[in-house]
């Protein structure tokens, strides 16, 4: 595969020097390769988006909504092919790949409706001072660069692409080099719908391509989802240009289980929070805080649940959890297993890589992990859960908040007043109460502290791609 870039409404061959190998993580083997774009092609993509902006931002909200509905419909028509590709390139079991596709479809549908419900561009603003009138005008922020990660292709790109197009922005999208193929469906859909050339551009490449895009002076905004290390580089690039940036970064999230909780329900929520997508989620609740009164009953059942979790190829209908998506991530998680042994952590289950030909690891639970442990403090991005006990509500809140991250948390208790009280006290962007991590497009997504800047999804996601202009007129 060489024609894997969509620039100015045309499919083009990569002219860069890097060859991207696309792997099947269940086999640990490549199944496709493509040539990265060159820096000059990144320039061409940004120039195409800039040229398309004047006409696109003047289209009506109803026109943009029609295109967004078209994206949703076309994703549905490509359902089986995209699910199969998610399974093959990401290692997701079918049920997870189907949820991803449904999420992307819902996102485009939601922003189509939101675009139509927007107030007019001009809204009068009442003034206390006589002799003046005032109005606000919502405008697209301009040309935006979108850089998305490998753990949720189609999904993260939909969260950015749909609101950007709804707002009237033009975009240059850079997928991850680990999973570069799924997002190409958006270029195919753009062709099918007759989306004006240059409104959507897709460039594939490695870190050099991401740097060329984030450093480009032709952008008006950057939106990045990924690691904190790369996010800090993106932020420096944005600072050099004095332009806005949205960052959705890492997490080391807590799940708090109080002693009045139903044990079986808590086990279900804990397993889902650490093993969905093989734990490769910024929102993974990888720190388990369990109250003393329930710990002795919960931990053995949790151990048994993780031992019984079926790890295998996504092609197996019985698989509950697939492999890690890349060899680099597999080696990283293996390194944390070694660190746990060096630290003398108590491993109740797992703690090892699996010899199955692909990049598989075992679901893992460490008990009574000290607060100074690297595994308690660092984002692992794998199915590795660390548990600690607590005595009081105040202690649980303090330990949950004792992190440089602040993305999400889960609270498990039958005392709903306490659940709401604890949720209000947690220093995070999203809290679930007695639930798996159900994410709805109507709600916001983003975190506090080191977990990022800005919000995605809901009306907040749209506002991130809008600029507010105020016009004041003297009547004298």
* pLDDT, tens only, 87-109: 999 999 999 999 999 999 999 99
Query: Please, which residues have CB within 8 angstroms of residue 155's CB and are 6 or more apart in sequence?
Result: 100, 103, 104, 107
- The strand pair at 360-361 and 353-354 is best described as antiparallel
Q: Say which residue, 241 or 414, is predicted with more confidence.
A: 414
Phi-psi region of 28 (alpha: psi -120 to 50; beta: other; left: phi over 0): left
Spatial contact of 8 and 43, defined as CB atoms under 8 Å apart: no
Q: Which distant-in-sequence residues (6+ apart) come within 8 Å of 326 by Cβ?
A: 23, 25, 150, 178, 359
Q: How far apart are CA 433 and CA 26, in angstroms?
A: 34
Rounded Cα distance between 96 and 87, Å, is 9
Beta 384-390 vs 364-367: how paired, if at all?
A: parallel
Q: Is the pLDDT confidence value at 73 over 90?
A: yes
Has 248 been annotated as catalytic?
Answer: yes
Name residue 145's beta-bridge partners.
172, 222
Q: Please state the φ and ψ torsions of residue 41, each to the nearest 5 degrees.
A: -70, -30
pLDDT score for 245 = 96
Work out the mean pLDDT of the chain and round it to a whole number. 96
The confidence band for 2, taking pLDDT boundaries of 50, 70 and 90, is: low
CATH of domain 5-249+451-474: 3.40.605.10
d(CA 421, CA 434): 14
Asked whether residue 376 carries a pLDDT value surpassing 90, the answer given is yes
The structural architecture, per CATH, of the domain 254-440 is: 3-Layer(aba) Sandwich (3.40)
Tell me the percentage of the chain whose pLDDT exceeds 90.
Answer: 95
Domain extents for the chain?
Answer: 5-249+451-474, 254-440
> Percentage of the chain surpassing pLDDT 70?
99
Strands 430-433 and 408-412: parallel
User: In this predicted structure, what is the pLDDT of residue 119?
Assistant: 61
Give yes or no for residue 290 having a pLDDT over 70: yes
Encoding tokens for residue 421?
């009280």
Given this chain, do its domains 5-249+451-474 and 254-440 carry the same CATH topology? no
Q: Active site includes 261?
A: no
Catalytic one of 275, 282, 386, 412: 282
Rounded to an integer, the average pLDDT of 110-124 is 84
Name the band, by pLDDT with cuts 50, 70 and 90, for residue 130: very high
- pLDDT (0 to 100) of residue 121: 66
Under 8 Å between Cβ of 437 and 272:
yes
Q: Categorize the per-residue pLDDT at 223 as very low, low, confident or very high, splitting at 50, 70 and 90.
A: very high
Please identify which of the residues 177, 248, 399, 456 carries the catalytic annotation: 248
> Residue 117: pLDDT band by 50, 70, 90 thresholds?
confident
Contact 68, 111 (CB under 8 A): yes
The predicted structure's pLDDT at residue 476: 82
Confidence band, pLDDT 50/70/90 cuts, at residue 1: low
């Amino acid at each position: 595969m060489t024609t894997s870039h969509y620039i100015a409404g045309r499919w083009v061959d990569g002219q860069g020097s890097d060859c991207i190998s696309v792997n099947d993580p269940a086999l640990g083997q490549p199944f496709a390769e493509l040539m990265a774009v060159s820096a000059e092609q990144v320039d061409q993509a940004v120039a195409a988006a800039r040229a398309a902006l004047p006409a696109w931002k003047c289209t009506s909200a109803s026109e943009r909504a029609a295109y967004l509905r078209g994206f949703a419909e076309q994703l549905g028509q490509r359902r089986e092919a995209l699910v199969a590709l998610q399974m093959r390139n990401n290692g997701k079991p079918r049920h997870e790949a189907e949820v991803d596709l449904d999420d992307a479809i819902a996102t485009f549908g939601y922003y189509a409706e939101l675009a139509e419900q927007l107030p007019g561009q001009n809204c009068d603003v009442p003034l206390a001072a006589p002799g003046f009138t005032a109005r606000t005008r919502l405008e697209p922020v301009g040309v935006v660069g979108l850089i998305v990660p490998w753990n949720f292709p189609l999904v993260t790109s939909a969260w950015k692409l749909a609101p950007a197009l709804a707002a009237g922005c033009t975009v240059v999208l850079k997928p991850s080099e680990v999973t570069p193929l799924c997002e190409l469906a958006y270029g195919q859909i753009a062709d099918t719908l007759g989306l004006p050339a240059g409104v959507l551009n897709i460039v594939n490449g490695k870190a050099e391509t991401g740097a060329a895009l984030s450093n480009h002076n032709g952008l008006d905004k950057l939106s990045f989802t990924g690691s904190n290390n790369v996010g800090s580089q993106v932020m420096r690039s944005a600072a050099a240009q004095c332009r806005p940036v949205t960052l959705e970064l890492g997490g080391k999230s807590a799940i708090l289980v109080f002693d009045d909780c139903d044990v079986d329900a808590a086990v279900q929520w804990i397993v889902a929070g650490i093993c969905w997508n093989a734990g490769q989620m910024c929102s993974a609740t990888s720190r388990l805080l369990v109250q003393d009164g329930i710990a002795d009953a919960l931990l053995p059942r949790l151990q048994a649940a993780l031992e019984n979790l079926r790890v295998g190829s996504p092609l197996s209908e019985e698989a509950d959890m697939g492999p890690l998506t890349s060899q680099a991530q597999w080696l990283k998680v293996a390194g944390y297993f070694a660190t746990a042994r060096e630290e003398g952590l108590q491993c109740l289950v797992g703690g090892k890589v699996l010899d199955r030909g692909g990049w598989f690891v075992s679901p893992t639970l460490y008990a009574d992990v000290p607060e100074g442990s690297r595994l308690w403090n660092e984002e692992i991005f794998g199915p590795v859960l660390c548990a600690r006990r607590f005595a009081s509500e105040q202690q649980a809140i303090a330990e949950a908040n004792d992190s440089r991250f602040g993305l999400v948390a889960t609270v498990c208790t039958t005392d709903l007043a306490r659940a709401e009280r604890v949720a209000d006290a947690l220093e995070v962007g999203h809290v679930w109460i007695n639930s798996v991590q159900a994410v709805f497009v109507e709600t916001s997504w983003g975190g506090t502290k080191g977990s990022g800047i800005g919000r995605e999804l809901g009306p907040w996601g749209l506002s991130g791609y809008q600029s507010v202009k105020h016009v004041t007129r003297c009547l004298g």
